[in-house]
Amino acid sequence: MKNNIFAATLAICLLGFGFYFGKMTQEQEEKPITAEQIQAAANVIGLDMTQAEIDSLLEGVSRNRNNYMELRKHPLPNSVPPALNFNPVPVGFEFEKTKKPLVLSKPKNLAVPDQLEKLAFWSVRDLAELIRTRKITSMQLTQMYLGRLKKHGPTLEAVITLTEERALAAARRADEEIAAGKYRGLLHGIPYGAKDLLSTKGYKTTWGAMPYKDQMIDEDATVIKKLDEAGAVLVAKTTLGALAMGDVWYGGTTKNPWNLEQGSSGSSAGSASTTAAGLVAFSIGTETLGSIVSPSTRCGVTGLRPTYGRVSRTSAMALSWSMDKVGPICRTVEDCAIVFNAIIGPDGIDQTLIDVPFNYNANTKLSDLRIGYVKSLFERESRGSERDSTVLEVLRSLGVKLVPIELPDFPYSAMRPVLSAEAAAAFDALTRSGDDDALVRQGRNAWPNAFRTARFIPAVEYIQGNRVRYQLVQEMQKVMAAVDVYVSPSYGGPNLLLTNLTSHPCVVLPNGFTDAGSPTSITFIGGLYNEAAALRVAKAYQDATDWHLRHPAMFE
Q: What is the DSSP code string of 348-378? A: SS-TT--------BTT--GGGS-EEEEHHHH
107-114 mean pLDDT: 94
Q: Which distant-in-sequence residues (6+ apart) come within 8 Å of 253 by Cβ?
A: 157, 247, 263
SS (H, E, C) 60-102: HHHHHHHHHHHHHCCCCCCCCCCCCCCCCCCCCCCCCCCCCCC
pLDDT higher than threshold 70 for residue 4? no
Q: Which distant-in-sequence residues (6+ apart) come within 8 Å of 147 by Cβ?
A: 117
Give the whole-angstrom CA distance, residue 240 versus residue 253: 9
235-243 mean pLDDT: 98
123-136 mean pLDDT: 98
* List 264, 265, 267, 521, catalytic entry: 267
pLDDT higher than threshold 80 for residue 359? yes
| Residue 414's pLDDT band (cuts 50, 70, 90) | very high
Which candidate, 377, 332, 364, places its Cα nearest to that of 543? 332
* Percent over 90 (pLDDT), the chain: 91
Residue 394 pairs in a beta bridge with: none
pLDDT computed for residue 510 by the predictor: 98
| Residue 26's pLDDT band (cuts 50, 70, 90) | low
Which candidate, 552, 102, 548, 131, places its Cα nearest to that of 330? 548
- Could you confirm whether 195 is annotated as catalytic? yes
- Could you confirm whether 291 is annotated as catalytic? yes
pLDDT computed for residue 9 by the predictor: 36
Q: Name the more confident of 1 and 23.
A: 23
pLDDT computed for residue 25 by the predictor: 53
pLDDT computed for residue 512 by the predictor: 98
274-283 mean pLDDT: 98
Determine if the peptide bond prior to 267 is cis (ω within 30°). yes
pLDDT higher than threshold 70 for residue 12? no
| Residue 156's pLDDT band (cuts 50, 70, 90) | very high
Q: Name the more confident of 155 and 7.
A: 155
Residues of the chain with CATH 3.90.1300.10: 118-410+466-555
Give the whole-angstrom CA distance, residue 505 versus residue 422: 21
* List 138, 195, 237, 264, catalytic entry: 195
Question: What is the pLDDT of the chain when averaged over all its residues?
Answer: 94
> What does pTM read for this prediction?
0.94
Q: Please name the CATH architecture into which domain 118-410+466-555 falls.
A: Alpha-Beta Complex (3.90)
40-65 mean pLDDT: 91
Which candidate, 346, 303, 300, 190, places its Cα nearest to that of 548? 300
pLDDT computed for residue 31 by the predictor: 86
519-547 mean pLDDT: 98
CB 473 within 8 A of CB 522: no
Chain centroid to CA 212: how far?
Answer: 20
Give the whole-angstrom CA distance, residue 139 versus residue 142: 5
Which candidate, 294, 285, 151, places its Cα nearest to that of 208? 285
In tens, the pLDDT along 478-487 reads 999 999 999 9
pLDDT higher than threshold 60 for residue 2? no
401-422 mean pLDDT: 97
In tens, the pLDDT along 364-410 reads 999 999 999 999 999 998 889 999 999 999 999 999 999 999 999 99
What is the CB-side half-sphere exposure of residue 543 using CA atoms within 13 A? 14
The amino acid at residue 530 is: N
| Residue 19's pLDDT band (cuts 50, 70, 90) | very low
Which candidate, 261, 244, 333, 260, places its Cα nearest to that of 522? 333
Give the whole-angstrom CA distance, residue 42 versus residue 17: 9
* List 291, 296, 322, 521, catalytic entry: 291
pLDDT computed for residue 393 by the predictor: 98
CB 189 within 8 A of CB 285: no
pLDDT computed for residue 5 by the predictor: 32
| Residue 169's pLDDT band (cuts 50, 70, 90) | very high
In tens, the pLDDT along 336-349 reads 999 999 999 999 99
